[in-house]
Amino acid sequence: MASSIPVSVPADAAGLEAARGGRVARRTRQLVAAGAAFVALLTIMAVAAPWLAPHDPVRQSLRARLTAPTLEAADGRAHPLGTDHLGRDVLSRTIWGARVSLLVGFAAVMVGGLVGAGLGILAGYRGGWTDTIIMTMADAQLAFPFILLAIGIIAVLGPSFPTLVVVIGLSGWVDYARVLRSQVLVLRSREFVDAILALGGAVPRIVARHILPNVLSTLVVIATLQLARAIVLEATLSFLGLGIQPPTPSWGGMIQEGREYLDSAWWISIFPGCLLLLTSLVVSRSGDWLRDLLDPTLRSE
Amino acid sequence: MSGLTRRELLKAAGVAGAAAALPSALAGPAGAQGTQKRELVVAQGGDISKFDPHFSTSANDIRISFNLFDNLIARHPDGKLQPSLATDWKLTNPTTWTFKLRHGVKWHNGDPFSSADVKYSFERTWDPKQNTRVSTVFTTVDKVEAPDASTVVFTTKKPDPLLAARVAFYGGQIVPKKYLEAVGNDTFNAKPVGTGPVRFVSWTKDDKIVLEANPDYFGGRPDFDRFVMRAVPEMAPRVAGLLKGETDIITQLPPDQGERVNGNPSTRVAGALYAGLYVLAVNSKVPPLDNPLVKQALSLAVDRDLIVKELWRGRGIAPSGPIAKGDNHFDTSLPALKYDPKEARERLKKSGYKGEDIVIETTAAYMANDKPMAEAIVAMWRDIGVNGKVEVVEYSVRAQKNRDKSFKGLWWSDPTSTLSDPDGMFWRLLSPGGPQDYWRHARFDELGEAARFSVDEKFRGQAYKEMTRIFLEHLPWIPVIQPYEDYGLQKHLEWTPNPNQQFEIRRFAFKFRRA
Amino acid sequence: MRALVTFLAARLARALVAVWLVSTVVFVVMRLSGDPVPLLLPPDAPRSEFARVARELGTDRPLPVQYAVFLGHVAQGDFGRSIHFREPAMRVALEYLPATAQLGLTAFVFAVLVAVPAGVVSAVRRNTVVDQVAMGVALVGQSAPTFFLGILFILTLSLRAGLLPTSGRGDWTHIVLPALTLGAFAMASIARLTRSALLEVLRQDYVRTARAKGLREWRVVAKHAFRNAAIPVLTITGLQFGQLFSNTLVTETVFAWPGMGRLAIQSIYNRDYPVVQCVVFLSAVLFVALNFLIELVYGFLDPRIRPR
């Protein structure tokens, strides 16, 4: 799978041990709430960027370039996180950068979820060759570094928002597909499904009534973990110069731009990088906590 | 790193430590005055791809190939043409050049060098069976003959005033006929044999190339035993390696780093004004860029002084037209291109510009400062009401667009003056059928063609003056800067950079200061 | 035993299909991604030159024909010639293999040597400060984007402290930062898993019995618990090793490590199809082989979970 993706390892057995007692379950709930609050805050920051950011994120001031974090720069403005190589305000760009991360992240999770769920249900429902083909595709995808394919595809289509969303989304379909496929297989072995089908029941209804409710919590857990993955993957691609076009700020792009100045103007890379790290940490951890809370069976996989 | 270099490093560290501990002590620059080094270590921004000089023209490649091989004529760092494998050359009639070859030159494998090698080398460049990448460099040449072992006669199709300059640049490296015919292209590329000041030892891809001094070099044994070229793609480690004393010379030093290199007691910056310009080439076929008034407005809106001062820390000059400073027929009386946003706004208004997108397709870090300059210029354009946009394209995409002539608007070009003459510079690119043929002007074309085939320098001077006037009205390029190409080097060596990206380590250009 | 052989044969067949699928997708994407010819010629070369070089490389032929030629050659173990280097692609890829192998193994050994002891200590001293710090670090290591981790290491340990070189391959000091960056994720995962697996075992009856017999905690862990916790740890460790290659892509790029990952990325930019194909093929084979091996080892280690 693509690089540096926070795949979750089976969670702490300690958590399991204690989760039987309600005290720790309550604590986990609180942690999940805290994670959700963080994401909500981040979302508010992204949405309210035009009002929150002290400066226009693309406004340059060459005379004040590479200014260290200061409250009074050469251009007479405050740049609490400094300016970049074109004199743009790092704080404002970091705030605006959350937009790209979240937008691409959520959209990619949707794409991955839809494709993965669709293929998973198809594989489980049709079985036979369909199943073999889909599962072999899943194997194939896991068998080589996705980021190579991503670079290739972006080279074909050019870096743009839809391309990024689709590429990143497709990098994560396998997990959803596996869960839904096994759920469908479980259901198919039950007789009532055959009965419904015999009575002329429609497949979408079966999916909606019998499959989705059973896997919803699992899907939420996967989606949360995938969100962290997607955000990191977007930043990685931007870092490699394959992300959103300038001057739109994105965290990965800022880290890349600041790399040449790491020695003299570390703030260009480090501030957006730290926010990226924090986001990845909190979101992926929230996924783990959610799993502990919602779906203790998943951890034994 | 060799033991020698590491010892150097340790010694330097020890001295620095002592100086810090005793601030009152005379903190003499560590090892700045002289050295016992016998190994030259250079770091460049990327690895080579091939040794065979007829198969590559990239800057990284020619830093090596121009030292493994010799041309008949060499262009020295001062821009003058000097004897190399040829000791003498003259125009015997308007279409015939006669070269006298140096005696007693030997290939690295011991074979003697002769006129047969020269004839073979030039014919190899355009031989369709060889599939070289320099097959179009000598299109003006009709035939090459070798009447005796030390004479070569070139016959050109029309008078070619620049043949000597062409012979001195890429494509003109002489390769060994006997060895090449015996081993074939692949082995030659893997184990190159030349006549140059260094011999091939080993190559570890994306890491380093090791070469050793050629003791029998006709220009004198170079001032080192070994020459190691390292590939260090990132700027920060390149600079760090220099400051620590691990490398002797680094290429592609960004202007923002000059202060640190000069501030370090044992290192300094050496630069050469680039033999060429950084320009925004314009696709003058797409509206609104087919309108000269729009292009004039775009040019007037660019604050070149600010770009030079801030983004380049003063390491460059604002150009005055299409001819690079230092080239033949550069007009010293012409003022630098003007920055006048008010005038720009007016011309834009007069042009009838209706807010169309104007796109710069820039590479990122292919040329120094390409992306930052593109972003800064677009911001300047926005200030006068132009809807400017930057799109970052990969280098390979740029190469493809260059071939297909499919740029959306403007793009960066860094025309090198391969012949130190306007003909090998703007006319090479902007002429009909040339790679940047997006704009035509009858008089401009007539003059360019006439100047190419005239051996009358006075006439050529007049022609280029008039072409410059036409150029400045129509702006098929928007020249932005003629930068310095900076290198970082240890003070324990003397070396003069070459403006045209050749990396000269022959005796006349390089030596260590001996302690 | 027979069932096992059949099962493994089926897995192997599926794995081969997966490798073929990967190669095909990469083939199509690479051919669509652009033309290598303009990169090989000087910008002022005439159109006829471009056509000539395209003919020489075979890129002027229709895609299905190119694909057929490609498959035919691969079947004979021939991946074609590198466009960029003018050498056999496999030879180029294998030239870069040692650097990647060195980095991957170092990172992996590094990860295991740090992670397993850390996990054990964390489990034994659970909920102490040591445990919390170790697991905190592991969490960060697990969620930090590889490229940013590399940049943090470069800034702090290399540029600021001046302890280690920032990039390239040379003496042993050059490998420390890339190995640390590459190994961080595996290290974190293995440490957390070791801890949880050990905790699971420590709750079992026989461990309690051992404790009740008055054995000291460390001896209990060493003699009884650790061996049983080792199986899941071994599995995840093997899987982590398989994942390492994809992380080498980014790590090698950040540290300019001259290995196969960097070669792959550079080759995409150079439109050097044969080399990309070759590297992807090698990595897919490596990954599949590793998984296969793990399954095999797993099956023998723990008969209870031998596959159906």
Nearest-CB residue to C140 (from A148, A266, A281): A281
Give the ipTM of the model, two decimals please.
0.86
Q: What is the CATH number of domain B69-179?
A: 3.90.76.10
Residue C155: its chain A contacts at CB < 8 A? 262, 266, 269-270
Band the pLDDT of A296: cuts 50, 70, 90: low
Residue A38: its chain C contacts at CB < 8 A? none
Q: Hey, is the C-beta of C66 within 8 angstroms of any chain B C-beta?
A: no
Question: Cα-flanking dihedrals φ and ψ of residue A194, to 5°?
Answer: -60, -40
Nearest-CB residue to B237 (from C50, C86, C167): C167
Token look-up 């799993």 returns A291
- DSSP H helix total and E strand total for chain C: 13, 0
The verdict on residue C228 lying in a domain is: yes
> Which residue blocks in B158-272 are alpha helix, DSSP H?
163-167, 177-190, 235-243, 258-263
Chains in touch with C (≥3 Cβ pairs < 8 A)? A, B
Mutate to test the interface with B, among C39, C90, C163, C279 (most CBs of B within 10 A): C39
Question: What pLDDT, on a 0 to 100 scale, did the predictor assign at position B33?
Answer: 59
Alpha carbon distance B230, B60 (integer Å): 11
Band the pLDDT of C304: cuts 50, 70, 90: low
Q: Hey, is the C-beta of C224 within 8 angstroms of any chain B C-beta?
A: no
> Cβ of B206 and C43 within 8 Å?
no
Alpha carbon distance B25, A294 (integer Å): 69
Q: Which residue from C minimizes the CA distance to A254?
A: C148
> Cβ of C38 and B399 within 8 Å?
yes
Question: What pLDDT, on a 0 to 100 scale, did the predictor assign at position B17?
Answer: 34
Alpha carbon distance C62, B437 (integer Å): 29
Residue B20 has pLDDT above 50, yes or no: no
Residue B393 has pLDDT above 70, yes or no: yes
> Cβ of B311 and A245 within 8 Å?
no
The verdict on residue C122 lying in a domain is: yes
Domain B39-67+182-272+485-512 has CATH 2.40.50.660: no
The A residues from 141 to 160 touching C (CB cutoff 8 Å) are 142-149, 151-153, 155-156
The C residues from 1 to 30 touching A (CB cutoff 8 Å) are 14-15, 17-19, 21-22, 25-26, 29-30
Pick the more confident residue, B136 or B393.
Answer: B393
Token pair for B463: 């022609």
Q: Which residue from A minimizes the CA distance to B377?
A: A60
CA-based nearest distance B1→chain C, Å = 7
Rounded to the nearest integer, the mean pLDDT of chain B is 90
> Cβ of A280 and C144 within 8 Å?
yes
Residue C159: its chain B contacts at CB < 8 A? 236, 240
Cβ atoms of A45 and A59 closer than 8 Å? no
Q: Which residue from C minimizes the CA distance to B43?
A: C168
Task: Please give the residue range of the domain that contains residue C130.
Answer: 101-268
Question: What pLDDT, on a 0 to 100 scale, did the predictor assign at position A242?
Answer: 86
Residue C246 has pLDDT above 50, yes or no: yes
The C residues from 141 to 170 touching A (CB cutoff 8 Å) are 142-149, 151-152, 154-155, 159
Token look-up 């570094």 returns A145
Residue C292: its chain A contacts at CB < 8 A? none
Question: What pLDDT, on a 0 to 100 scale, did the predictor assign at position A297?
Answer: 54
Residue B501 has pLDDT above 90, yes or no: no
Tell me, what DSSP letter sits at residue B27? Answer: -
**One-character DSSP codes across B330-343:** --TTSPPPP--HHH
CA-based nearest distance B364→chain A, Å = 8
Q: Which residue from B minimizes the CA distance to A243?
A: B392
Question: What pLDDT, on a 0 to 100 scale, did the predictor assign at position B463?
Answer: 96
Residue ranges, comma separated, of all CATH 3.10.105.10 domains in chain B are 6-15+275-483
Question: What pLDDT, on a 0 to 100 scale, did the predictor assign at position B240?
Answer: 87
Residue C189: its chain A contacts at CB < 8 A? 7, 9
Question: Cα-flanking dihedrals φ and ψ of residue C215, to 5°?
Answer: -65, 150
Question: What pLDDT, on a 0 to 100 scale, did the predictor assign at position B419?
Answer: 87
Question: What pLDDT, on a 0 to 100 scale, did the predictor assign at position A113?
Answer: 94
Q: Is the pTM of this model over 0.90?
A: no
> Cβ of A148 and C264 within 8 Å?
yes
The verdict on residue C114 lying in a domain is: yes
The C residues from 249 to 278 touching B (CB cutoff 8 Å) are 256, 258, 262-263, 266, 269-271
Band the pLDDT of B10: cuts 50, 70, 90: very low
Question: What pLDDT, on a 0 to 100 scale, did the predictor assign at position C209?
Answer: 78
Mutate to test the interface with B, among C31, C33, C40 (most CBs of B within 10 A): C40
Token look-up 């992807």 returns C280
CA-based nearest distance A157→chain C, Å = 8
Residue B53: its chain C contacts at CB < 8 A? none
Question: Cα-flanking dihedrals φ and ψ of residue B63, to 5°?
Answer: -60, -30
Q: Which residue from B minimizes the CA distance to C43?
A: B435
The B residues from 437 to 456 touching C (CB cutoff 8 Å) are none
CA C233 from chain center: how many Å? 17
The verdict on residue C76 lying in a domain is: no
Alpha carbon distance B20, B14 (integer Å): 10
Q: Per-residue pLDDT tens for C155-211?
A: 999 888 888 888 888 888 899 999 999 999 889 988 988 888 888 888 777 777 777
The verdict on residue C204 lying in a domain is: yes
Name which of A4, A65, A45, A63 is nearest A257 in CA terms.
Answer: A65
SS3 A265: coil
Residue B36 has pLDDT above 90, yes or no: no
Burial annotation B326-336 (CB, 10 A radius, 16+ → b, else e) = bbbbbeeeeee
> Cβ of B136 and C37 within 8 Å?
no
**Assigned architecture for domain B6-15+275-483:** Roll (3.10)
> Cβ of C166 and B204 within 8 Å?
no
Rounded to the nearest integer, the mean pLDDT of chain A is 84
Residue A9 has pLDDT above 60, yes or no: no
Cβ atoms of A164 and A244 closer than 8 Å? yes
Residue B22 has pLDDT above 50, yes or no: no
Q: Which residues pair with C276 in a beta bridge?
A: none
Q: Per-residue pLDDT tens for A82-135?
A: 999 999 999 999 999 999 999 999 999 999 999 999 999 899 888 888 998 898
Name which of B396, B39, B59, B78 is nearest B252 in CA terms.
Answer: B59
> Cβ of C144 and A270 within 8 Å?
no
B155 to B82, B122, B134, B289: CA distances (angstroms): 21, 12, 19, 42
> Cβ of B396 and C36 within 8 Å?
yes
Q: Per-residue pLDDT tens for B290-322?
A: 999 999 999 999 999 999 999 999 999 999 999
Residue C84: its chain B contacts at CB < 8 A? 49
- Domains contained in chain C, number: 1
Q: Per-residue pLDDT tens for A278-288?
A: 999 999 989 88
Alpha carbon distance A248, A93 (integer Å): 8
Residue A211 has pLDDT above 50, yes or no: yes
Please list the helix, strand and coil fractions of chain C in percent, rounded to the nearest 5, in that order: 80, 0, 20
> Cβ of B205 and C92 within 8 Å?
yes
Nearest-CB residue to C249 (from A13, A147, A285): A147
Nearest-CB residue to B400 (from C38, C95, C96): C38
The verdict on residue C179 lying in a domain is: yes
Q: Per-residue pLDDT tens for B194-222?
A: 999 999 999 999 899 999 999 999 999 99
The B residues from 380 to 419 touching A (CB cutoff 8 Å) are 390-392, 394, 396-397
> Cβ of A245 and B397 within 8 Å?
no
Question: Cα-flanking dihedrals φ and ψ of residue B316, to 5°?
Answer: 170, 170
Pick the more confident residue, A26 or A253.
Answer: A253
Residue B418 has pLDDT above 70, yes or no: yes
Please tell me which of B156-165, C6-15, C287-296 the model is most confident about, judged by mean pLDDT. B156-165
Q: Per-residue pLDDT tens for B422-472?
A: 998 999 889 998 889 999 999 999 999 999 988 889 999 999 999 999 999
Rounded to the nearest integer, the mean pLDDT of chain C is 84
The verdict on residue C33 lying in a domain is: no
Alpha carbon distance B224, B280 (integer Å): 41
Residue A148: its chain C contacts at CB < 8 A? 26, 249, 264-265, 268, 276, 280
Alpha carbon distance A100, A78 (integer Å): 25
Nearest-CB residue to A151 (from C151, C200, C265): C265
CA-based nearest distance B340→chain C, Å = 33
Question: What pLDDT, on a 0 to 100 scale, did the predictor assign at position A141?
Answer: 82
The verdict on residue C180 lying in a domain is: yes
Q: Hey, is the C-beta of B515 within 8 angstroms of any chain A C-beta?
A: no
What is the domain-level CATH number for residue C136? 1.10.3720.10
SS3 B208: strand
Residue A241: its chain B contacts at CB < 8 A? 364, 392, 394
Sheet holding B151-156, edge to edge: B86-93, B96-101, B151-156, B141-148
Cβ atoms of A238 and A150 closer than 8 Å? no
Tell me, what DSSP letter sits at residue B285? Answer: T
CA-based nearest distance A253→chain B, Å = 12
